[in-house]
Structures are given as C-alpha cells and as structure tokens.
Structure 1
C-alpha cells in the first residue's frame, strides 16, 4: 500500500491523506484512483493546478529535432523509450489523435502542448499513467475507437495522396482490429429493421467478425491486387466489421457499401463454403 501511496503522490502531487482516500475508494488500483483524482474530485480536496504550459514546452525541447521546429522520428523513439512503450504500440495511435500529430513520428509544438494539457499531463510520470487510461479507452469505447481509427488514415496518408498504401493500411488494421475486438470497442452491433418492417435485429449471442477474418481480408486484397485503400473503404470497413454476422449472410448488396467490400463478402462466402 505504501508504494502505491507514494506512486499516487508522485503523479498527482496530492497529499498522503488524499492519496490514501482515493486508493481505498478505488480498491487500491492506482490507475483508477489517479483517473478519479482528475475527473471525480472528493469533497474538501483542493483542486490541483492544471498541467503547466512551461513544463510541456521544456519537455518538447528535450525531444525536438535540433535542426527543426518539430519532434521527428529520432525524438519520437527517445520519447517512447522514456515512456516505456514500443514505437509500434497501438496506444500511440490514440496519442497521435489527442496531440493531432500531422504525420507518423512527428509532433508539432501546439499539438503537443494542447494535447497533453487536455489529457492532464506535463511530465513523463503522468504521461505513463495517461497511456494506461488511453489504452483502456481505445479498447473499450466504440466512439473513441472510431475517432482514433479515422484519424489514423489522415495522419498516416502520404502528403498529396488520396489513398493509403496497402502495406501501411494492413499494418494499422493488424494493430487496431484485433485490439478493438478484444477490448469490446468492436463488439457486434445490432442491425436495424428492414424497410418493410421485418425485424432483423441480431440476437445477443449471435457471433460477428472473427479474428481470422482479418487475415481473410488481407488475403482477399492481395488476391485482388489492391495497391491502395481509399478513405471511403477505410471508414466503411470499420462499420462492416462491427455489423457483419459471422456467416456473412445478412450483408445487403443493395446498400451503399464500397465495391471492394461487396467483392470481399462473395470471397468470404465461398471460403466459408469450402471450409464447412
């Protein structure tokens, strides 16, 4: 308990008394207690000062390219080392969204300061804790997952290009889709009734997208010779993953799905037939 109290105090700057109160209220879960400290203050506690712009600017200088105005790849690698996170960790996509990263491995000063202040951090210690919260939110919050997912296309697309290269798209899908399925952000959703009033809502125990279908999607794209992924396909694929049943039976070919997804459904149906 004492170690957790010290950790809580170091991150939040709270008194020992407040640290114990929060930890006891949240079953000694340091991450939950810290999150509550910033979002659900206990009565009688003095509100802490917000994150310091000055500290964030100083921290930005630590990682900034010495010959430029931004943090670039080398600074990003050093930042990841200090945060104790792999540069390819999915949580960094949430950080990129929050800090409005203009491109992969690049961080601008305004986005850095505004983003970390919005998250509630101005030091590496609090950033480490924030990554725990962001990871949990990304995995479990469907709306937040969609925001990060859509932003990923924007910040990873090469300048001047309308589509995302297939290798890059697959790399991000491989990070995001399994993570969202595991955490619940991509839980199977209920379909609305049809136009003629027939109730086609799925039963709660009906299965949706399976992990292996992500690889099927990759196999299909390779077979089709797809070189790039448009914004429309990128965004609609997320809706497709959340709504399709595991047998691909309830797919509406008359709906406004991209033709690439139409073709994949036929591919998946044929593959299912061969495997059953």
Structure 2
C-alpha cells in the first residue's frame, strides 16, 4: 500500500496533480500520481473503489488519469476538493450496484486491463485478481472456487471479453448447483467448471 502522508496539503483537484508523501507535486497521468492520490484518499490503490473512480472518470488507460478525465469526472461527481471526493467514494459503490450501471462497470473492469494496443485477452493471473476485486465481496465462495479452478486448469491461460461476460450473464446457484441443467446450452467453460465442482464435492 502506498505510504500515507500526514499534515500535507495536496494540489486542488482541478490541477490534475497531487502532492506525494515526500512533498513533490505528482501529475495524475502517471502510476506514481495515482498512488499519491490513493494515499490522500486513505485507500489502497488495489481497492475496488479506485476502479469505480476510474470508471466514473471514464479513464482509458490503466494507472493514468488525463487532465480532461480528471476534471470532467470530478465535475460529474459534483466535487471540488479531495476531502469531498473521499466522502463520495462510498456512494460510487451504491451507484455501481444499480442494474443500469453494473453491467457497464463490469465490462469496463475487463477493458481497463487491456493495457496494450490491439490486446483482446487478459492473462489468467490478472483475471483471478479481477474476479476477486469485482465479485469477491459479494460472491466470495463462488469466486474462491472459480479462482482455484482456473489456477489448476491449464486449458485456460487467458480470457477474452466474451469469457468474462459469461460469469455475469449465467448465474449458477452455489454450492448446490441446483439451477444447472446439463441438457441446456451452457457455455463450455461453465460446463467444465461444474464438472470440476462435482468431482471435488464427491
């Protein structure tokens, strides 16, 4: 976790910079600037609320907020100081929970991990981290089992957006698997996961 500074004053939000722990002004268009921002807000840079903030700012590149993204995003949030921004972070969680926003955020979370030009898939290690970040709090047992499955199955070394969406579009009751009907057309990855689950439950 980035070091949390004390008794220091950050630059105003509309300047697209913050003050780092050693007193330097750091631009938010750099990973170092994002870490300094997280320290100001009192959250870890791996906190899902930072991902939600990136979604709200419509940030296009992971670990960077452009000046336009920062300023227009804060305007949309209705805040003009870091103290106010800190107070609205919990509200972002409520906003994402709305059905009209959740799918958009869910897809954004995947695309935010596409860090290279023309990249179409995300490696399994990153997918496991993303599953924990986005779904872990609400669906901990399911996510733990899916992550264990993915880490032990060599068939999947990366996921496309289509695979990522499958986890949101198809809901399997857990741990009883009662709503799973093998005669229906489930995505192959879920068929394989259910088979693995049953083998481990027997």
Unaligned runs of 5+ in 2: 1-11
Partner in structure 2 of residue 271 of structure 1: 200
Equivalent position to 2:172, from 244, 261, 273: 244
- For residues 158 and 259 of structure 1, what CA distance do their matches in structure 2 show? 27
Point out the structure with the larger helix share: 1
Partner in structure 1 of residue 103 of structure 2: 146
How many Å apart are 1:150 and its aligned residue?
1.1
CA contact (8 A) 2:120 2:161 kept: yes
Partner in structure 1 of residue 55 of structure 2: 97
Matched length: 184
Normalization by structure 2: what TM-score? 0.80
CA contact (8 A) 2:49 2:89 kept: yes
| Larger Rg over CA atoms | 1
- For residues 91 and 28 of structure 2, what CA distance do their matches in structure 1 show? 26
Partner in structure 1 of residue 14 of structure 2: 57
C-alpha change, 1:69 and 1:75, in structure 2 (3 Å) is closer
CA contact (8 A) 2:18 2:27 kept: no
- For residues 254 and 177 of structure 1, what CA distance do their matches in structure 2 show? 27
Kindly indicate whether structure 1 or structure 2 has the higher relative contact order, using CA contacts under 8 Å at least 6 residues apart: 2
How many Å apart are 1:147 and its aligned residue?
2.0
Partner in structure 2 of residue 106 of structure 1: 64
Alignment of 1:145-184 (within 5 A): 145-159=102-116, 160-181=118-139
Out of 172-181 and 91-100, give the one that drifted further: 172-181
Question: What is the RMSD of the two structures over their aligned residues, measured on CA atoms?
Answer: 2.5
Normalization by structure 1: what TM-score? 0.60
Unaligned runs of 5+ in 1: 1-54, 182-210
